[in-house]
Amino acid sequence: MLDQSGSPTAEALHAPVLRWYDANARVLPWREPDAGAWAVMVSEFMLQQTPVSRVLPAYEAWLERWPKPVDLAVEPPGEAVRAWDRLGYPRRALRLHAAAQAIVERHGGDVPDDHAALLALPGVGTYTAAAIASFAFGQRHAVVDTNVRRVLARALTGVAQPTISPTAADQRLAVSALPADEPTAARWAVASMELGALVCTARTPRCGDCPIRSRCAWVLAGSPPYDGPPRRGQTYEGTDRQARGRLLAVLRAASGAVPKKTLDASWPDATQRDRALDGLVADGLVEPLGRNRYRLPS
């Protein structure tokens, strides 16, 4: 089943991918039938740019401590930052805390099932709103993350793409590839994402295990490598990000206020260190106290 351009139609991919998912899906706690929308939401925040293996322990501890949005909402934001541990991008912890408060204030403490209401929450963008609506509430949305983007690009357009955030064109392609009926669309969303995570991977795709290899435009084209401009590799060593991480690690480990002198010991360059600390304060991740002391925000 091919369209005018010689690429397979999306409909031809649905059944084999859904069958593959039924047989190969990972068992993950946020996918359990009784997980609930809050569990899905917590997992989605944590999984933004952080691998599943590192999310699992933090996720379990988080839901044990804060089983409902209101449980988190009544805590100081600094507790969320502390519990975030080393997942990275700690502003996500702050946003999840703010989102929990918004859920209590605007939605009676229950994660909303409306896509627009989800999108209005702090830290919830196009992807996360669609993911919660689809995974937790079974709705029909294009859930376009880096996995889905890669799967559709290869299978339907036949090109390898660099790992960047999905574009408007990727979004349109995903919408056009969505099954018509709601429950099938919801299963397709999680199944196509799982295929990207386990088989159609970025570095070394396991095409031998792929349920749609016989229809994949990229495979049929000889698996051509990405030929566009090279991506700028993000260095980490010596950056402000690393400095911020060091400072925040000291504050997470402390129970209360920390003297600036203690923070100073965590990064050698004074100019960069102070810039990083100012940035953390500006982001609301650190609260300045009197007498040159700092702590996680209360």
Partner DNA sequence: GATTCGTGGCA
Partner DNA sequence: TTGCCAAGAAT
Minimum CB–partner distance for residue 6 and DNA (Å): 25
Judge whether 11 counts as a catalytic residue: no
Contacts 24+ apart (CB under 8 A), 222-231: 223/160, 224/158, 224/159, 224/160, 225/160, 226/159, 226/160, 226/161, 226/162, 228/162, 231/162, 231/163, 231/164
Of the candidate residues 60, 105, 163, 259, the single one contacting DNA (CB under 7 A): 163
Please give the structure tokens belonging to residue 216. 């994949």
Minimum CB–partner distance for residue 66 and DNA (Å): 19
Q: How many Å apart are CA 289 and CA 84, to the nearest integer?
A: 22
Of the candidate residues 73, 244, 273, 277, the single one contacting DNA (CB under 7 A): 244
Q: How many residues bind DNA (CB under 7 A)?
A: 64
Q: How far is CA 8 from CA 13, 70, 146, 167, in A?
A: 8, 47, 21, 21
Of the candidate residues 176, 201, 223, 292, the single one contacting DNA (CB under 7 A): 201
Instruction: Mark the segment that binds DNA (CB under 7 A) among 68-76, 225-233, 254-262, 263-271.
Output: 225-233
Rule CB under 7 A: say whether 291 interacts with DNA: no
Rule CB under 7 A: say whether 196 interacts with DNA: yes
Q: Which is nearer to DNA, 6 or 132 (CB)?
A: 132
Q: Give the type of residue at 212.
A: I
Q: Which of 11, 32, 44, 237 is catalytic?
A: 44
Of the candidate residues 214, 223, 239, 292, the single one contacting DNA (CB under 7 A): 239
H or E element: which one contains 258?
A: strand 258-259
Rule CB under 7 A: say whether 213 interacts with DNA: no
Nearest to 42 by CA among 106, 99, 116: 99
Q: Which of residues 44-103 bind DNA (CB under 7 A)?
A: 44, 47-54, 86-91, 95
Q: Which is nearer to DNA, 126 or 184 (CB)?
A: 126
Sign of dihedral through CA atoms 50, 105, 142, 229? Answer: negative
Instruction: Mark the segment that binds DNA (CB under 7 A) among 15-23, 161-169, 212-220, 288-296.
Output: 161-169
Rule CB under 7 A: say whether 189 interacts with DNA: no
Can you tell me which residue has the tokens 């495979």?
219
Of the candidate residues 242, 262, 266, 272, the single one contacting DNA (CB under 7 A): 242
Please give the structure tokens belonging to residue 170. 């990727």
Rule CB under 7 A: say whether 246 interacts with DNA: yes
8: CB partners within 8 A, 6+ apart: 1, 2, 155, 156, 212, 215, 216, 217
Cβ atoms 179, 188 nearer than 8 A: yes
Please give the structure tokens belonging to residue 179. 């099954």
Minimum CB–partner distance for residue 252 and DNA (Å): 8
The residues assigned a catalytic role are 44
The binding site for DNA (CB under 7 A) comprises 28, 30-31, 43-44, 47-54, 86-91, 95, 122-129, 131, 145-147, 150, 162-163, 165, 167-168, 193-194, 196-197, 201-204, 230-236, 239-242, 244-246, 248-249, 279, 285
